[in-house]
A and B are shown apart, each in its own frame.
Chain A
């Protein structure tokens, strides 16, 4: 019991709260990596809170106060568990392309995240539109995805700026990262032809450098530059519609043996095979997030705040016991 009292000491609470504040300040102002410090201090705060709940009789008398502190405890545990289960990543899908787990570029993976979870996700990219105000200010974005790609009839869903696609707990958010792609097929000297897309930098942000490098399946290192037949009038409002992108772009190809310029339908012979340029298409960039604890964290936050409000509601009278601690002080009594 004595150990519990020590662990649940209010003095320790103040020291730990000060350490959390200092850790955040050091990370923000000093640019230090405060994550290990914060993780340790938050773990100690959990122990401190458990000790306080177990030993302080006030928590048994004041159920709303207990509920608030239990919510704080739950929030800290949920954040820690969420960090272990989390997946964050990026994804680019060309028009008509189906989602595949291998396409996700993972940027943050929790230790307990299972790759198998992504296997159950299925959707296919469709058309997307982006509204622009004068001055190329991005406004609403809408992306249509078919969430039943193997079905007889498409089941389309609109994904937008604040409306992610949610499947199996994964949330797919549209991003401002989207653009043009060259639809090309590769016909090797021997073997089967393959068709795919080469994505160019985000458009219209990088409309002045639509260049990308690509190594063909035959091993030819290529630099591709797209010259799209798109009129960009930054001073006017317009809507970028992926289905209205003219296919008639020009693809300039630089390789070890020279340069070439291809129009849709034209072909380039290379040592490893033939590359056929079919025309322009588009790609959409998504941010992928998986954290199954988030709905619980939100509920915990709301319940905690309401419990705190309820606790203070009980002390609205100036004579309420809650505020009497300072009454003994002569400076206040005066």
Chain B
């Protein structure tokens, strides 16, 4: 069985997939443009997520989007953005990008004080741009560049590397540390952030629905392209051009 057929098999059983993944050698994978040996599992999870999204998550996000005035939305986004700057400082430092880490630390200090606990993004107004980094990107910079794609319900698209990165990100995320104070507060904050992020994606729903021949493949390839862009801080090397 060639790797190609293996990768393309839409409804292969999980056992077959795991066996297939073990058979596939590194070189067979390298010939494939997309690193997705768990495609059967991923497509099943994608379908579960689409179902959850349609019946529950998207309607809640739409209601939230409808009732929340723009200044409040901006405040919520800025608040969680400020929390994320903790992660950015940490991961910029781990990647040796010390000047970026310094800027993000400055952002954190300014927004947490003058910006009233992060409700206003004063630092951006002052021209201090955020450098978005997470532990998945740090692992990539440390050498784990290529990683198999995984799709999780609720969490959405990831790779094996980024799934590990996410676990570390949760451990270093101040929102989750609210557990020391109050479980209810923490849960409310995590839920609010989840719905806020989903709501911010509402305008792109129709774009993806109408653009994709195969929505799963479109979402997967978009995620992998976006991560590559993030890992190279916005300027990834160009892929070869067939016309050249």
Q: A and B from one assembly?
A: no
